[in-house]
Structures are given as C-alpha cells and as structure tokens.
Chain A
Amino acid sequence: MAYKAQYYPGTTSVAANRRKHMGHDLEKLREISDEDLTAILGHRAPGQDYPSTHPPLAEMEEPPCPIRELVEPTPGAKAGDRVRYVQFVDSMYNAPSVPYVRSYYAAINFRGVDPGTLSGRQIVEARERDMELVAKDQIETEMTDPARSSLRGATVHGHSVRLQEDGVMFDMLDRSRKEGDVIIMDKDQVAIPLDRKVNLGKPMSEEELAKRTTIYRVDNVSFRSDAEAVEWVQRVYLQRTQYGFRPGVEKAQ
C-alpha cells in the first residue's frame, strides 16, 4: 500500500481543515486575474516583464556541481527573477487559515520558498513568479476569506484587533473594504493607491467561517476537545524534552 502523508493529528473539523491546507486538498472559491494579482502585490506594474537580478541560468556559466545537476531550478530562479514577498494577515476571529498552517502549506507544496511565521501574520519570500503562484493559490482557494484575511506588507496588523461592525478585519490604512456584497481592494500591500478596484469576492458567512477555520477557539472548536491532537502534541513535547528527538535513546536506556 502506498504511503499517504499524514500532516496533522486530530478528529475535529479544525484538524481536518489543517490537513486539507497542508496537503493542498483545497476548494477553489474565486478567481483573480494575473493583472489584478500583480497590482495588489505592488512589486511591478501590471503587464510589465519580470525584472531580473541576474541573467537566466542557461546563459550563466555555472561551476560544475552535482547538487546543481540534481536539483531542477524553479521557473523564477531559472529566469533570474528578483526575490519578492507576499504577506498575509489572518484575523483571530475564525479566519480560514493561520500563520503556522500557511507556512506548512508553503513549505510542503512549493519549492524555492522561504516562509516566515509570526503570531498574526505570515510572509513568503521567493523568486517573483514563484511567489505569485503561492499568492494566487492562497487567494483563490478556501485558505483565504477576503473579510478575515488580508494582504498587508506594511503596517501589518489586524489579527488580534476586534472586527468592524460589518464583520471585516480592521485596517488602519484601509487597503480593502466592503462595498455592497463584495470586498474590494483599491490599494496595494503597502497602501499605495491603485488605478483599479480589485474585486476579492464575497465574504464567507459566520457559519461558513466556523466550518472552514483552522483556528481552535473555545467558542467554536476548542483545542482540548480534540483528544487525538492533544495526545500527539503532548507526545512530541515530551519526547523533544526527554530525548531531543533522538529515536532509539529510550530503548537503549
């Protein structure tokens, strides 16, 4: 029987959602065009070629190296793209994803990415076209809700701030807001105004968010209610403390 990777323990909906995010078993909920994505990321003008930081690898005379021969470079590295970032903020009020899960997702499913995890935000650095793939995938799928998750490159806050009356995560720089039924973004990640309004789609309902979230909360699915997850987290912590992750030491003693 072929081995199937098991990414996260637990029997609750939160644990199942975490497994879905990490294993890239994601439902696509909305579409965002490449031009709109480029605009809200704000690293280059929509339609502009990818600026490069070095010539394409094929034109460079690389030293003989078995590792370079073994590892196929990512499209961005092959073309010599600049390294650029995408940064997500997820509200603690049942946002679909959380920074740790986003980092696992990026590291497991993409090559050449450098995920950075913080308490309320998560950044991925990669070659520009590789980073755009990661960003687009997250924005278009159930990993993101336009009202509870947001792209924020500067003044990155909102995770632990109370929601606005309309249920949208607060942003002091007003990058995105609810207009009618949908959330629109008319500024890029760092709050520079755009010449367009990018439609990020309809926000999810409270029930939908509670169903899709990967955040354990006492007012939704509490961590302590997931006996399997608690058992495995305790096991990892215990073994890390006792043996520093050296399997076999326990038996030898």
Chain B
Amino acid sequence: MTCPTESGCNCEIAESGRETVQIEIVPQRILNPETSEKLLGRIYDCDGIIRVSIFGSRLPDTVGYGPGTGQKVNHPLKKTIDVEGQQVNMRVSLGRLRVEVENDETALEIKKICEETFSFPFEFYKGTYFKKHSTVVDYAKMGPDADERLLGMTDPKGKLDQIIFIEKEEKDSE
C-alpha cells in the first residue's frame, strides 16, 4: 500500500490484515474509581479485547497555576485501581472509553456490561477511533518498526509510559 497522502513519496504503510471492531463508550457521568475498576475489570474479562484507551479530565497531583501553585490536590477520584491484578494509577478521571475488539459479539457483550454497570444513561458508538497510520510524532517516539497497536494510544504530547500493558492469563485449553 502506498502513501495515502499522494505526495509522491515512496513510503509504505504496513497493512494490518486484521478486521477488528472499534467502539466508543461515553457515560453521562464522570466515573468514580470504584465504578471504573468494576467496568474495566469486566471488560478485560471478555475474550477478544485488543486494546483499551481511557479519556477524561486530568487529575493533577499539584495545583498548576495561580497563587496556590504547587499545593497538593489529593483528589478523591485519583486512586489506584486494580485491573486484572495490575495496579493502575488513575491520571485522568474516566469520562470516555475506546475499545478495540476482535468481533461484533464482544462489542455487544461490552454494551451489556455497560448497561449492568452504569446507573445512568450512556452512549455507545461503533466506528474508527484509533489511528491507522504512523505520523511524524509516532515515528519520532517509536521509530520505523513500531507495533501498530501502539498507534493512537497516547496524546500527541503524551509519553509512551502512559500505556499500561495488561497481560491476560491464558485459559487452560489443554
């Protein structure tokens, strides 16, 4: 596949060859750490989860500007939650969730989980939410042979350590 920009350059975009489903969940409220933990735990229990991206308002450690600059915040929403046995520090509140899954069945299962977890309405969309192609910023961060699953997993100005790898335990199939 040649460059999608039609600029005449010879760069080549690697094709994934995977047909996946991407979904976005927008709850009507900002989630508590307890609800976030419950939701993420149940989502990761599903089969066929490829990657999950969390969006929300930032929860800073200290006051960023004004006369109170440097004061500790200690926000009650900023807690460490347990996802699949791994401790995850909440840097943002959970306001929006994007999930890439292998098929429609898993997407529907996640929708059902949301209905059971939220006590308030939520929006559920299917579309394309993760980047398909590497940008200059991605190239600068990850080099030429980066894993395509890392694309779009952080803000353009974000660092790669914002990505947390959740290892799923292999089910005993033998």
> B-contacting residues of A (Cβ < 8 Å)?
42, 153-155, 161-165, 170, 172-174, 177, 187-188, 190-193
Contacts and interface: CB of A to CB of B under 8 A. Distances in A.
B166 to A, nearest CB: 24
B65 A191 contact: no
Interface stretch (B3-11, B54-62, B99-107, B138-146): B54-62
B60 A165 contact: no
Nearest to B74: A174
Contacts of B93: 170
B89 to A, nearest CB: 16
B65 A162 contact: no
B64 A193 contact: no
A42 B74 CA distance: 19
A191 B30 contact: no
B95 A162 contact: yes
Given A165-B35, A172-B57, A173-B73, 12 more contacts: A154-B66, A155-B63, A155-B66, A162-B27, A162-B29, A163-B29, A163-B30, A165-B119, A172-B73, A190-B63, A190-B68, A191-B73
B32 interface: yes
Given A164-B77, A174-B73, A174-B76, A154 B29 contact: no
Interface of B: 27-32, 35, 57-60, 63-68, 71-77, 93, 95, 119-120
B97 to A, nearest CB: 13
B37 to A, nearest CB: 13
Kindly name the residue among A162, A174, A192, A193 whose own CB sees the greatest number of chain B CB atoms within 10 A: A162
20 contacts: A154-B65, A154-B66, A154-B67, A155-B63, A155-B64, A162-B30, A164-B30, A165-B35, A172-B58, A172-B59, A173-B63, A174-B76, A188-B68, A190-B63, A190-B67, A191-B68, A191-B71, A191-B73, A193-B71, A193-B72
B73 A165 contact: no
Given A164-B77, A165-B35, A191-B66, A172 B60 contact: yes
Contact of B71 (A162, A177, A192): A192
Nearest to B78: A174
A162 B73 contact: no
A60 to B, nearest CB: 30
A170 B59 CA distance: 11
Contacts of B27: 162
B68 A154 contact: yes
A153 B57 contact: no
A192 B66 CA distance: 10
A172 B61 CA distance: 10
A155 B65 contact: yes
Nearest to B120: A165
B121 to A, nearest CB: 11
A15 to B, nearest CB: 27
B30 A170 contact: yes
A190 B29 contact: no
A193 B74 CA distance: 11
Given A154-B68, A155-B66, A192-B71, A164 B29 contact: yes
B64 A192 contact: no
Contacts of B65: 154-155
A164 B119 CA distance: 12
A165 B75 CA distance: 15
B59 A162 contact: no
